[in-house]
Structure 1
Amino acid sequence: MHPDPKDAAWLLEEKYHGVESDAYRADCERLAIGEPLAYVIGWQPFLGLTIRVDSHPLIPRPETEWWTERMLRKVGAVFSATGCPNDSGPEGAEKPRQLIVLDLCAGSGAIGCAVLKYLPDAEVFFAEIDPTHEAPIHKNIRENGLDASRAHVLIGDLFDPLPPDLRFDLVACNPPYIPSGRTLDASVSDHEPPLAIFSGADGLDLIRRIATELPNRLAPGGQAWIECDSAHAEAARTLFTSHRLASSLHSDQYAQSRVVVVS
């Protein structure tokens, strides 16, 4: 078996700087048996960031990158226009108020790191159930030169590790949403974490729990952007409307329903 030539060329350039060493050839063997390129190289690009995937979290997908960029543009525009009084300013000048943001089911922390990079007035909470991803999230914050003083990494199930009275202006979440009986490509099923992929028979177990808790976690005027499976996008949206939350579906770059926007 041979690796995809494009993947092998990318690996050679990005990890080995053009030198065909024994280590490079060993990594090509990993590619040849289907291990994802991001795991072999050790990182995945995401909105101008280098996201390390040493702990083998779910690899950030182009679809997630696409909607995250649009979320940042929309939310950044809204909150930059709604300042709060700057009491320390002698002329009462206004400044953007600090956003409280949650990257729920954070995994690698890619979404939260993008928020730290592009929304300089945001305080970001990363909530992740798998403790093996805690140190890598901190590493991604540090190695991308982001402001660690605005970041909090908490380990636990969904909202459980968060202070009970904390409300968020923005919740961004790429939860597991694949039905447990669906057959996936071997590069996914054999290598990426099932905990971050599957969510019950209909794929909605985690989204159902998020919809139940979200009314207690959104600040007034807050939004949530929740990635979902295009095959059950309308069912996912209905879960939020059943809890009296306004919601709409947005498509990805491939014209597939991909994210529920909730307010």
Structure 2
Amino acid sequence: MEVAQEDIQALIQDKYDGDQNADIADDVARLAAGEPLAYVIGWLPFLELKINLDSRPLIPRPETEWWTEALIERIGNEPLRVLDLCAGSGAIGLSVLKYCPNARVSFGELIPEHAALVEKNLVENQLDASRASIRAGDLFEAFAGEQFDIIATNPPYIPDTRELGEEVTEFEPPEALFAGPDGLAIIERVVAEAREYLAPLGSIWIECDIDNIERAQELLLAGGAERAELHNDPYGRPRLVVGYYP
């Protein structure tokens, strides 16, 4: 495939510090093969953080950046306990650490290599490690006996039968994308266990697929949430459901 000139310029600027004489032939070949630009560069910006992608987690999307901003606004300066579940690169929780000076953030990630990447991103962005805890494990298993004021998660939520572009299916981790026939396999587990890990008056923020978000809303209400609100992303699509608990 032909490589866009703007991608080549982004590569030179962000990977080679603007060196127009850099040898980029191998990188251009990777782009021509369909590999995402963010993986070839090795990082991408997210709310003014540098998010490294060394372990090749899911690439954070603008939709996630959008609702992370809303989450930061909600937390403000409050001393809340936040869990970034299915953390991947850690972009959501690291943003909370950067902009919410009194929040404490725990990161839960299934893949140990991604958990190590969260640690790297924490250090390289010079964030306050004393307010962070990074653990590897399946969903809540590393947080037995703990409770949080907010659980924020961008879990796998795409139905297995959904056809995606090769730049996604050939390069991004399928375990971070697909979640059963209806895309709800992980969300169902998260919602079923969330009540145990939420403090009184806690809330859970879940990014969803537009085709299953209403079902996710129903699951939250059936699982004990007092209310569950849907929010449209900047493209006008329902993307985020927030469940509020008593």
Which bin holds the TM-score, normalised by the shorter protein? over 0.9
| Pair 1:133-2:121 in alignment | no
| Pair 1:112-2:113 in alignment | no
Once the two structures are superposed, what CA deviation does each residue of 1:20-70 show, in whole Å capped at 9, x if it has no partner? Answer: 332x12101111111001100000110010000010000000000001101
Q: How many residues are paired up?
A: 242
Structure 1 partner of 2:60: 60
Q: More deviation in 128-137 or 185-194?
A: 128-137
Deviation at 1:133, TM superposition (A): 0.9
Give distance in 2, aligned partners of 1:75 and 1:123.
11
| Pair 1:146-2:127 in alignment | yes
Give distance in 2, aligned partners of 1:20 and 1:189.
33
Q: Is the 8 A contact 1:2 1:29 kept in 2?
A: no
Q: Is the 8 A contact 1:4 1:32 kept in 2?
A: no
| Pair 1:175-2:155 in alignment | yes
Once the two structures are superposed, what CA deviation does each residue of 1:200-242 show, in whole Å capped at 9, x if it has no partner? Answer: 0100000001110111111112111100001111011111111
Structure 2 partner of 1:102: 83
Q: Which runs of 5+ in 2 are unaligned?
A: none
Q: Which runs of 4+ in 1 moved over 2 A?
A: 18-22
Q: Is the 8 A contact 2:12 2:22 kept in 1?
A: no
Once the two structures are superposed, what CA deviation does each residue of 1:110-131 show, in whole Å capped at 9, x if it has no partner? Answer: 0010010011111111000011
Alignment of 1:159-238 (within 5 A): 159-162=140-143, 164-238=144-218
Give distance in 2, aligned partners of 1:59 and 1:214.
25
Quote the sequence identity (%): 51
Give distance in 2, aligned partners of 1:13 and 1:44.
12
RMSD between superposed Cα atoms in Å: 1.0
Deviation at 1:75, TM superposition (A): 2.5
Structure 2 partner of 1:239: 219
Give distance in 2, aligned partners of 1:7 and 1:18.
15
Give 1:203's aligned amino acid: G
Give distance in 2, aligned partners of 1:75 and 1:253.
21
Structure 2 partner of 1:89: none
Q: Which runs of 5+ in 1 are unaligned?
A: 81-95
Give 1:106's aligned amino acid: A
Give 2:160's aligned amino acid: S
Structure 1 partner of 2:19: 18
Give distance in 1, aligned partners of 2:21 and 2:56.
25
Give distance in 1, aligned partners of 2:49 and 2:22.
27
Structure 2 partner of 1:48: 48
Give 1:159's aligned amino acid: F
Alignment of 1:72-111 (within 5 A): 72-76=72-76, 80=77, 96=78, 98-111=79-92
Deviation at 1:19, TM superposition (A): 2.4
